[in-house]
């Protein structure tokens, strides 16, 4: 699953650490999300989407294999 978290985070000018705190996760989790190495729970995906005032499907791009 791809995402646009890094681009949205840079637009909003917040660090990985700050985003992690807003979401209640570690900076390492944000790094893993941005690198596509971690698929978030629906709760985490929702938190990220709300922070950026977007729909989940606008932040996370599901691609069938």
DSSP 3-46: E-HHHHHHHHT--HHHHHHHHTS-HHHHHHHHTT--PPPHHHHH
pLDDT digits (tens, 9 = 90+) for 17-58: 999 999 999 999 999 999 999 999 999 999 999 999 999 999
Compute the residue count for the chain.
65
Q: Nearest CA to 45 among 13, 10, 2, 15?
A: 2
Residues 6+ apart with CB under 8 A from 3: 33, 34, 36, 59, 60, 61
Q: What is the pTM of this model?
A: 0.91
Domains and CATH numbers, the chain: 2-53 (1.10.260.40)
4: confidence class by pLDDT, cuts 50, 70, 90: very high
Q: What is the pLDDT of residue 1?
A: 85
């Amino acid at each position: 699953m791809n995402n646009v978290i890094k681009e949205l985070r840079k637009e909003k000018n917040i660090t990985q650490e700050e985003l992690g705190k807003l979401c209640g996760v570690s900076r390492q989790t944000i790094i893993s999300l941005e690198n596509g190495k971690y698929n978030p729970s629906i709760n985490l995906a929702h938190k990220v989407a709300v922070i950026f005032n977007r729909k989940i499907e606008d932040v996370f791009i599901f691609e069938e294999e």
